[in-house]
């Protein structure tokens, strides 16, 4: 089949790689350069554990209080928009315990494919920077630690993937560079560090070698449709006909879906990161670390480390103030006191696609028979890229298992 993929972030590139490997003819169109936005600036963590959607029980209250200041893993930017209000109400509904369980079970379908997906990339000869350090969620308070671990109690299969570390000696045996007041953690030993630019470069090389086409600086203006079938994507360089279409354009997917008559319940979640360069490997984190108090992620890479923020729901434009970057660097030093910070890149800011229930959106656009969405991955686009590609292939080839319906846009209604 001829397939057009709109969006050359990590999800779109992974889908192209998967579909080309299955013998399809693939063209990717990208409005700018490939691999930009959150595909570039993410936390560089690939996790086989964190299946919990962003809208967790209690998270909306925490986010609402963040409007008035304070550190929070999730915060809300006020907007005066009816669509945004509906989105927040749906997100609040998703935080109900029963809905959170449904969302976690759905997201874990993707999570269970993650590590095998990246191992497959290595077996296929894709050359990209990756490390096998695992990840740790660290705590200075026993109470906070016990509350975090309690979330796993309802998900025994997920809990099997972590190891509990109680006491400073147990924590520092895994990572001796952590601050001495870190006394509790749960450790996911199979998690990976993946430098995102390197894996996207490897995917593009594989796509081109397999005969795929990557057309950059070619935004999609409209679609040609008839009787619920998309015939062509009309780009700034002209129409491109195909048998199947995939919209994998991150936050831009909402506007593209609207061109097909569907109001997608997806809004941007702002985030930012900073890269700290240093050569002394002995000072690097031993694993990717997620902190409890400052709510940042720190990941070791060849050139040093990357630190990244939580989710700023509804942030309209990608921006970050220098004072915020300074604070992020200070938070890195709190958790890793010996890390040198005299060679720091300017901060990156971007918008991540956040679905109303926190679960990725993968499936047919309601009202269309051959146009699919692949978006809404929030902070897990890199992690879920290979899994999403496999779901898309199964959907397009008609052999998707029943449980893949959990990702369908139709779960929000025909018109959302």
Specify the DSSP class assigned to residue 377. Answer: B
Element (H, E) at 143: helix 142-150
Which pLDDT tens digit goes with each residue over 33-86?
A: 999 989 999 999 999 999 999 888 876 454 444 443 444 456 777 788 899 999
Do residues 210 and 25 lie in contact, with contact meaning Cβ atoms separated by under 8 Å?
Answer: no
Q: What is the mean pLDDT of residues 272-300?
A: 95
Per-residue exposure over 260-279, b if at least 16 CB sit within 10 Å of its own CB, e if not: bebebbbbbbbbbbbbbebe
Q: How far is it, in rounded angstroms, from Cα 259 to Cα 413?
A: 17
What's the rounded Cα separation, in Å, for the pair 26 and 33?
18
Domains and CATH numbers, the chain: 2-412 (3.50.50.60)
Give the phi and the psi of residue 105 in degrees, each rounded to 5. -60, -40
Task: Please report how many Cα atoms fall inside a 13 Å half-sphere around the Cα of residue 120, on the Cβ side.
Answer: 15
Exposure string (b/e) for 300-330, b if CB count within 10 Å is 16 or more? bbeebbbbbbbbbbbbeebebeeeebeebbe
Q: Rounded to whole angstroms, how far apart are CA atoms 124 and 121? A: 5
Report, as an integer, the average pLDDT of 116-120: 98
End-to-end CA gap in the chain: 30
Mean pLDDT for the stretch of residues 265-274: 94
pLDDT given at position 26: 98
Q: What is the predicted pLDDT for the residue at 57?
A: 87
Number of separate helices (H) and strands (E) present in the chain: 12, 22
145-186 pLDDT tens trace: 999 999 999 999 999 999 999 999 999 999 999 999 999 999
Give the mean pLDDT of 118-145.
97
């Amino acid at each position: 089949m001829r397939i057009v993929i709109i969006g050359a972030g990590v999800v779109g590139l992974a889908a192209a790689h998967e579909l080309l490997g299955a013998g399809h003819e693939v063209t990717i169109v990208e409005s700018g350069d490939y691999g930009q936005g959150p595909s570039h600036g993410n936390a560089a963590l690939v996790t086989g554990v964190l299946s919990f959607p962003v809208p967790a029980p209690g998270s909306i209250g925490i986010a609402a209080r963040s409007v008035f200041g304070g550190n929070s893993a999730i915060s809300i930017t006020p907007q005066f928009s009816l669509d945004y209000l509906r989105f927040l109400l749906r997100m609040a509904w998703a935080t109900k315990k029963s809905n959170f369980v449904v969302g976690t079970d759905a997201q874990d379908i993707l999570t269970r494919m993650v590590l095998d997906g990246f191992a497959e990339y290595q077996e296929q000869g894709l050359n990209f920077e990756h490390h096998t350090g695992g990840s740790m969620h660290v705590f200075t308070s026993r109470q906070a630690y016990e509350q975090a671990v309690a979330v796993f109690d309802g998900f025994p299969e997920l809990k099997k993937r972590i190891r509990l570390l109680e006491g400073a000696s147990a924590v520092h045996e895994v990572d001796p560079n952590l601050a001495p007041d870190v006394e509790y953690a749960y450790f996911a030993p199979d998690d990976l560090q993946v430098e995102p630019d390197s894996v996207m470069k490897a995917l593009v090389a594989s796509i081109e070698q397999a005969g795929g086409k990557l057309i950059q600086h070619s935004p999609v203006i409209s679609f040609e449709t008839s009787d619920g079938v998309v015939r062509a994507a009309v780009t700034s360089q002209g129409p491109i006909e195909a048998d199947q279409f995939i919209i994998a354009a991150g936050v831009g997917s909402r506007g593209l879906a609207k061109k097909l008559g569907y109001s997608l319940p997806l809004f941007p979640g702002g985030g930012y990161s900073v890269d700290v360069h240093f050569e002394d490997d002995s000072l690097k984190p031993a694993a990717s670390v997620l902190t409890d108090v400052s709510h940042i992620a720190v990941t070791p890479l060849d050139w040093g480390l990357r630190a990244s923020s939580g989710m700023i729901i509804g942030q309209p434009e990608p921006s970050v103030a220098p004072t915020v970057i300074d604070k992020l660097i200070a938070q890195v030093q709190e958790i890793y006191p010996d890390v040198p910070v005299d060679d720091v890149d300017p901060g990156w800011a971007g918008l991540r696609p956040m679905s109303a229930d926190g679960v990725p959106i993968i499936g047919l656009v309601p009202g269309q028979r051959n146009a699919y969405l692949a978006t809404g991955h929030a902070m897990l686009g890199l992690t879920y890229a290979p899994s999403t590609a496999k779901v898309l292939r199964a959907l397009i080839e008609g052999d998707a298992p029943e449980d893949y319906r959990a990702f369908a846009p139709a779960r929000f209604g025909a018109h959302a």
